[in-house]
Amino acid sequence: MTTEGPPIRRLADWDAATLRDLADGHGTPLYVLDQRRVRENVANLRAAFHEESISYAVKANTVRATLETIAETGIGAECASAGELQRAVDAGFDRLRYTAVNPPAGDLDHVVDLAADPPRDLDLVITVGAADAFEALAERGYDGPLAIRVNPGVGAGHHAKVTTGDAPKFGVPYDRVSELASEIVSRGFDLVGLHAHAGSGIHEASDLAAHRELVSRMGELARELDHDLDFLNVGGGLGIPYRPTDEPLDLDSVAAATREAVGELDARLGIEPGRYVVADAGVLLTTVNTVKPTPETTVVGVDAGMTTLLRPAMYDAYHEIRTLAPDADERESVTATVAGPICETADVLGRGRELPGPERGDVLTIGNAGAYGYEMASNYNSRPRPAVVSLDGGESRLAVERETLSELTRLEIEQ
């Protein structure tokens, strides 16, 4: 881990000829994930948070090639489901945190079995966000280390749908943590940590201020507990600049502010970034199917939609869009709406975008698609999920095959 790349990789930094070749060779829609950039992002995080324990929030991207890249850097994995935990184990992670929300019985069965009979020596901690979750683990005979997820009453994030720190769904209420901690310890369990998470996409000044408040409250809580802890995990959610005019986070300043906010602490401070590790390491390639001038806008119909990249429809998220046409500089610009093939008004990847006059067959690239892109892809409208290509240096390989129409019904039982 000696290479530290720039604080953000902009869409213009991707080589257009390479992306065109990948689209020609693998078809579209196509996700492209650059493993070298993933390593650079981990290096940037380590340079800033060198004293803290870092775990990758697996939900941001679970493509095997990327998980293996991150595991090789030596950081840990934070998992929100049994499936994510199994993927992380298979990819080679040895330090794992299982931090599920309202975990189903089947998930707990799998995780407890894994803890009892691991494939190798694993540092696995299960985090409970409710007293019931603790009781469910006890009923299954789990006797490994535990942490408590806390609801500190402070949330932040790029959208209300991903603000978690003040949502009742997440964590044990702040003023009830001490009681649960005492119960866990009195029954002979090893309580090793506390966990909290403000939300996702923390980037603006107001978000950072809320995050510092969360860290401060968690530091106070850790000091108040009548119990020694190994770690205090204050979550991830570090955002990136999705718009080309936005500035990247100053990680050194964020790290310093986090240390200052938590105060004196015997436990090791931990963070769990996901988006920051993978977002700018991925792009989505899509082909123009139709170009339709209308009185309001030019509608550019593409073969990727909300089933390929959900974030614009789900969160009104902005992703930069660029044409890869070799003669783009020679075309007259138009104001366009880039829309997908899904039968929903929400199926729009970008509105009011200035693009070189689009033509049928052009390939467009959509930036910062490495986080929550392929991960949230679906089969709505019976659309097959896209393929994924992994880049590493000058080499490329197919990481995930394109789903076929016949595979859409492979789990269905004929009557």
Average pLDDT over residues 129-137: 96
Residue from 280, 281, 299, 279 nearest 289 by CA: 299
Tokens of 388: 């994924």
343 in active site:
yes
The annotation status of 272 as a binding-site residue, yes or no, is: yes
Average pLDDT over residues 16-40: 98
Of the candidates 343, 405, 411, 413, the residue annotated as catalytic is 343
The annotation status of 242 as a binding-site residue, yes or no, is: no
Question: Confidence band (pLDDT; 50, 70, 90) for 143?
Answer: very high
The annotation status of 273 as a binding-site residue, yes or no, is: yes
The residues with which 33 forms a beta bridge, in sequence order, are 282, 390
The per-residue pLDDT for range 77-127, each reduced to its tens digit, is 999 999 999 999 999 999 999 999 999 999 999 999 999 999 999 999 999
The annotation status of 315 as a binding-site residue, yes or no, is: yes
The annotation status of 274 as a binding-site residue, yes or no, is: yes
The annotation status of 9 as a binding-site residue, yes or no, is: no
Mean pLDDT estimate for the chain: 92
Average pLDDT over residues 259-285: 94
Q: What is the rounded distance in angstroms from the CA atom of residue 29 to the CA atom of residue 193?
A: 42
Residue from 188, 255, 232 nearest 51 by CA: 255
Q: Which domains does the chain have, with CATH numbers?
A: 35-275 (3.20.20.10), 280-409 (2.40.37.10)
Angle between helices 82-91 and 105-116 (to 10 degrees): 30
The residues with which 99 forms a beta bridge, in sequence order, are none
The annotation status of 372 as a binding-site residue, yes or no, is: yes
pTM here is 0.94
Question: Confidence band (pLDDT; 50, 70, 90) for 165?
Answer: very low
